[in-house]
Amino acid sequence: MSSKDDYVYTIPDIPWRNHFSNLLFSGDLISTGLELFLVGGLTTIAWFKYYMVNVAGSMPLLELATFMWIFSAQRRIYNSYLESVYFAFPAYRTQPVKEHALKSKKDLVGREPEQLETIIKHDRMTLVSQFFLDVSIYFLIPGYYPAAKETYGPMYYRILMLILNHYVMSFGMYWTHRALHVNPYGWRYIHSFHHWAKHPLSRTTYQDHWFDNFGNAIVGHLFAQILVPLDNQFFWLSRSLRICESLEKHSGVSCGFNIVHSAQRYFPFAQMPHHHDWHHEGHKGCNYTFTSIGGLWDCVFGTRKTGRHPALAETSSDRKMANTEQKTSKNSVLNHPWLCLSPVLMVGALAAVKLKYQLA
């Protein structure tokens, strides 16, 4: 996103066929080269040291490398799909075109050139830190990346575990996200980077401060998999769904083309991409709609806000709560700059206790 064509006053009329172009990581050759080097190196080690580097109870290291290749490709392909929808179907956009009438020298989502340069640096750090986190977890926590089995339990139980895993994941991410908004240090030096995108597109999904992404990986995926472990097949499925959900949430369109959000819209207090889009538009004042999956925690803790949306994207929860949305007082203990981290610490403590007995 650095060409002169990105700096426009209105959204250009780009045919959908021309939007399958975001194949470089962050549009950056160095970032893409780093990714190829790291994952390619892991693949080589796994291939030539096949049995010697595998961890008992975990998927083979070569499968972990395959895992990284496949989901790297999924992020690119699904991002291109969502951006093509954005440009091809303006009626489904969460914000009218006039909202994108940006000042000169800003990109389509509202960021200055200097901010883009900073984001690219953090994207590189995110890539490296996430890679080494994933590899470290593989060797330090046997079974975290579950090995395939010949037989699995009843399907209803596996589905229930998937749902519970995602709610545990979203609980930790909800409170981390909320804390980064109400804690002045967390906002200024970490989370505000992500909110430079006032009108997000799917490519901005992972464009955060590197520590923001690192923390989410721990309080989200790590804690949830320890507390509510998924089997091999559902572990793959969960990560795939999470990628789609995250990209859709930032896609700028709210409609049936959002496959994962549409599939979960009948869950209690489910949200669609227009909820999170409204969150971005509010910048630091947007102390609502923090939930990453579904919308249960926003409703429970008083931070749900419907926002505006295309009529076809409206959920049943939107209609029920349109005039009864809760507003959390600024003086609420839940908005204390440090106390709001206590739920995250609680989940982390539970995960640590379980891990201790698991490794004993």
Per-residue model confidence as pLDDT tens digits over 60-99:
999 999 999 999 999 989 998 998 898 888 888 887 665 5
pTM metric for this prediction: 0.87
Tell which residue, 285, 268, 286, has the closest CA to residue 276.
286
- What are the structure tokens assigned to 163, written together? 């749902």
The answer to whether the CB of 95 falls within 8 A of the CB of 252 is yes
pLDDT value for 319: 58
Domain residue limits at 129: 4-359
pLDDT at 8: 37
Asked if the model's pLDDT at residue 341 lies above 70, the reply is yes
Q: What pLDDT was estimated at residue 176?
A: 94
pLDDT at position 89 is 85
Q: What is the band of 323 on the pLDDT scale with cuts at 50, 70, 90? A: very low
Indicate if the pLDDT at residue 297 is higher than 80.
yes
Instruction: List the Cα angle 64/66/70 in 5-degree steps.
Output: 120
Q: What is the pLDDT at residue 291?
A: 83
3-state secondary structure 99-119: HHCCCCCCCCCCCCHHHHHHH
C-beta neighbour count of 53 within 10 angstroms: 17
134 Cβ contact list (under 8 Å, min separation 6): 64, 68
The pLDDT, as a whole number, for residue 302 is 83
Rounded mean pLDDT of the chain?
83
Q: Locate 348 and state its tokens.
A: 């982390």
Encode burial over 86-95: b for 16+ CB neighbours within 10 A, e otherwise: bbeeeebbbb
Encoding tokens for residue 124? 């590189």
Q: What is the pLDDT of residue 5?
A: 40
The pLDDT of residue 355 is: 93
What is the number of alpha carbons within 13 Å of residue 244 lying toward its C-beta? 15
Note the pLDDT of residue 269: 80
Q: What are the tens digits of pLDDT across the range 201-242? A: 888 899 999 999 999 999 999 999 999 999 999 999 999 999
pLDDT value for 9: 39
CA atoms within 13 A on the CB side of 8: 15
- Tens of pLDDT along 257-293? 999 988 887 787 888 888 888 788 764 556 678 887 7
Q: Residue 314's pLDDT is what?
A: 60
Confidence of residue 152 (pLDDT cuts 50, 70, 90): very high
Q: What is the pLDDT of residue 227?
A: 97
pLDDT tens for each residue of 3-42: 334 333 355 555 555 444 455 555 678 888 899 999 999 9
- Percent of the chain surpassing pLDDT 70: 79
Indicate the number of domains in the chain. 1
**DSSP symbol at 314:** -
Q: Which residue has the higher pLDDT, 104 or 279?
A: 279
CA distance 245 to 259: 8
